[in-house]
Amino acid sequence: MFTPSLFRWTLLGCLYAYATRVSARSIRSETIKVADPTVLILGGGVAGVIAARTLYENGITDFIIVEARDELGGRMQTETIGVPGNEWVVERGPNWVQGTQTGDGPENPIWGLVKKHGVKTQANDWYGSMTTYDETGYVDYLDVFNDSSNEYTTLTVAAGARVQRQLVDLNARSGYSLIGSKPQTPAEKACEYYQFDWEYAQTPEESSFIASSWGNNFTYDTDVGGFSDTNQMSIDQRGFKYFIQAEAEEFLQPQQLMLNSTVTNITYSSSGVNVTLTDGTLLVADYALCTFSLGVLQNDDVSFEPSLPDWKQEAIQSMVMATYTKIFLQFEDDFWFGTQMAIYADTTRGRYPVWQNMNLTEFFPGSGIVFVTVTGEYSVRIEALSDEQVQAEVMGVLQAMYPNVTIPQPTAFYFPRWHTNPLFRGSYSNWPASFFNGHHENLRATVDQRLWFAGEATSLKYFGFLHGAYFEGLDVGMSLAECIRAGGCAGLAHIPEITNPYPYKT
């Protein structure tokens, strides 16, 4: 069994050996050419690991995963929070397998890996275990909540009908209005937020009517090939990431992984790819598979030489990298709701609206941990505030929810800043109404035969999800393997100019 630190030391040994040899050949005084594998897989998240496994399974072992962080997993990351003696591993990033399997129907591959590697999960009831609040405290508006849940289902059905009739996309706000759903009160708006923004990390105004509906249906609706309507939450104290790291251990050799290696430049042509790291290391390969997040590509954190073609840049800049922020609190004593979930309806839509109780027997009993989620522009806003300012706001909301309780200060407080993190620049992609099918094809299309792309954002059916990253790593990895075996290929095709939307191919 190898560990990240073993990887690192083995790699440093290899680096030293290469450095000695290469400096003797004096390629460039400031650079060290580490290796020239056939493929550089840029990024070690789910897409990168599954692409590597796919190459390996297809007999191609001459690859290296290049990852900036000190472990594999990408957005699957943990944080240990709590007072000494009551510390818990919580998930900064994903924590649910969304859709598992129904009978012997299609299985979410993340669920398959979770079971294979024994990751501990717990069914999370998003709809049947709910308490509702507003600015005056506890108020029962479960009827509004149930109506809102039904309206979301109607929205997805209406979107499906548009696809069948090949009608153009609209934004989801138009979709809601067309089905007669026009939330007015804080409670109605908070319930709509729970159905919509809490999943897509953006508002209905900012999201595609059609794509947000199929994002839901292809995952949850068994009638259209979805897995199941269940959400399994990781409660594994090794972290949710354990399954992807354990999967990598089954095939990855130490020399196939470079951790702590941040890419600054990708220079490509139809004959190969050069990749430069922050320390000046130059890696040369026949192909590169870029799995960096859409946010990284949008923000010029990595430069491309030559600049990416116009059709690729338009695709990258037209999808949206949204942000989803979980804010964790630990208290000595439990004073909050006994259900799994709670909604707080503020007069400002999206202000600390979705709460989750981890203190229950089936989750982290005795932990005293509760967390609240914000998304979209609200996430961007709080990332610009200090922890103390955010904590004060969250405590103000809790005090509004419990006007008759003297709430003590939390013993622990933590939230990650995904939007400003230069390795992610957000949490996951969201599809706006102005992103056409052709843009999607161009987002995943190959540039100059040698530069390939994969990740959750390139998934048509499952953008945003872990299983989207998995399927793209598999699919693009398979195409790349075929290309290499054939001695070269044009790669995944692009459309030079998107002149109009055309019918969706799913």
Ligand X SMILES: Cc1cc2nc3c(=O)[nH]c(=O)nc-3n(C[C@H](O)[C@H](O)[C@H](O)COP(=O)(O)OP(=O)(O)OC[C@H]3O[C@@H](n4cnc5c(N)ncnc54)[C@H](O)[C@@H]3O)c2cc1C
Among 239, 272, 455, 491, indicate the residue that binds ligand X (CB under 6 A).
455
Contact flag: residue 414 with ligand X (CB under 6 A): no
Contact flag: residue 96 with ligand X (CB under 6 A): yes
Query: Which residues within the stretch 38-57 sit at the binding site for ligand X (CB under 6 A)?
Result: 43-48
Identify which of 355, 330, 353 has the alpha carbon closest to the alpha carbon of residue 342: 355
Assigned token pair, 121: 């999960």
Q: How far apart are the first and last CA of the chain?
A: 40
Among 41, 55, 81, 93, indicate the residue that binds ligand X (CB under 6 A).
93
Least distance CB 258 / ligand X (angstroms): 9
Least distance CB 443 / ligand X (angstroms): 12
Cα 455 from Cα 472, distance rounded (Å):
6
Residue with smaller CB distance to ligand X, 367 or 429: 429
Residue with smaller CB distance to ligand X, 371 or 418: 418
With contacts defined by CB under 6 A, name the span among 140-148, 168-176, 286-294, 483-491 that binds ligand X: 286-294
Contact flag: residue 410 with ligand X (CB under 6 A): no
Contacts of 190 by beta carbon, 8 Å cutoff, 6+ apart: 134, 343, 344, 345, 346, 349, 353
Phi, psi of 330, deg, nearest 5: -120, 135
Contact flag: residue 69 with ligand X (CB under 6 A): yes
Contact flag: residue 476 with ligand X (CB under 6 A): no
Contact flag: residue 296 with ligand X (CB under 6 A): yes
Q: Residue with the closest Cβ to ligand X?
A: 74
Among 31, 54, 78, 98, indicate the residue that binds ligand X (CB under 6 A).
98
Helices and strands counted in the chain (H then E):
15, 23
| Angle of CA points 291, 262, 303, to nearest 5° | 70
Angstrom CA distances, 93 to 64, 77, 98, 421, stand at 25, 6, 14, 12
Region of 505 (left: φ > 0; alpha: ψ -120 to 50; beta: rest) is beta
Cα 382 from Cα 418, distance rounded (Å):
11
Contact flag: residue 126 with ligand X (CB under 6 A): no
Among 74, 109, 410, 432, indicate the residue that binds ligand X (CB under 6 A).
74
Contact flag: residue 423 with ligand X (CB under 6 A): yes
Among 232, 375, 379, 427, indicate the residue that binds ligand X (CB under 6 A).
427
Assigned token pair, 266: 């990708």
Among 176, 218, 324, 364, indicate the residue that binds ligand X (CB under 6 A).
324
CB of 282 closer than 8 Å to CB of 31:
yes
- Side chain identity at residue 277, one-letter code: L
With contacts defined by CB under 6 A, name the span among 31-39, 145-153, 294-302, 392-400 that binds ligand X: 294-302
Cα 310 from Cα 219, distance rounded (Å):
32
Residue with smaller CB distance to ligand X, 176 or 424: 424
Assigned token pair, 165: 């009739």
Positions touching ligand X (CB under 6 A) are 43-48, 66-69, 74-76, 93-96, 98, 262-263, 291-293, 296, 301-302, 324, 418, 423-424, 427-428, 455-456, 464-466, 468-469
